[in-house]
Amino acid sequence: MQIQMQPMGAYQTNCYIVTVDGKDYIIDPGVGAAEWVESRVTHPVAILNTHGHFDHVWSNAELKERLNLPIYCPEGDLFMLENDPFGQGTPPSRADVAVKPDERVTIEGVPFTFLHFPGHTPGCSAIEIGDAWFCGDFLFQGSIGRVDFPYSDPAAMVKSLKKAMACEKEVTLYPGHGPSTTLAKEKRNIPYWIRALGG
């Protein structure tokens, strides 16, 4: 597995291109991502969204049209792609596949699991590929996703953090913002955030 990453837009949202067996999977194409993605892919297969916030899905529609790619998005966040609930002027897109919580999907022979960690958004997920989690705005290096936005849910975040604490896998985390980290490292911080949220 090869991973390319580029921060996009004012919020420096990480767009990833994950290449497995010569196939390119685009994760969270944010503001201005289309040109970078097109310059870096050779066999693009699909667009995968960790969640529906505008800075992660802005270039969905443009890349879908240019490269004729299907969009996979957690079902809980489909409304964000279609309706621009934050009024940011996000180009509307429509998912071709609404992924259910913790669903495993196989795309051209490559398996992905959309691990459901709601709280930041209703559908917020970490996309598991091998020993990597592309975790969007669930976990960051030393921090977690905000829960003070519309459609966020602090109580759901507590449950999600406890679910992550219970995971015994050794995985590398590739967040939606900032540098990569590991689940083992973040487990040192997660209990603090659970307490901070009243869990």
- Report domain 2-196's class: alpha beta
**pTM higher than the cut 0.95:** yes
pLDDT tens-digit map of 6-62? 999 999 999 999 999 999 999 999 999 999 999 999 999 999 999 999 999 999 999
User: In the chain, pLDDT over 70 holds for what percent of residues?
Assistant: 100
DSSP the chain: -EEEEEEETTTTEEEEEEEETTEEEEE---TTHHHHHHHH-SSEEEEE-SS--HHHHTTHHHHHHHHT--EEEEGGGHHHHHH-TT-S-PPP---SEEEPTT-EEEETTEEEEEEE--SSSTT-EEEEETTEEEEETSEETTEE----STT--HHHHHHHHHHHHH-----EEEESSS--EEHHHHTTTHHHHHHHTT-
pLDDT tens-digit map of 115-143? 999 999 999 999 999 999 999 999 999 99
What pLDDT does residue 118 have? 98
Domain ranges of the chain: 2-196
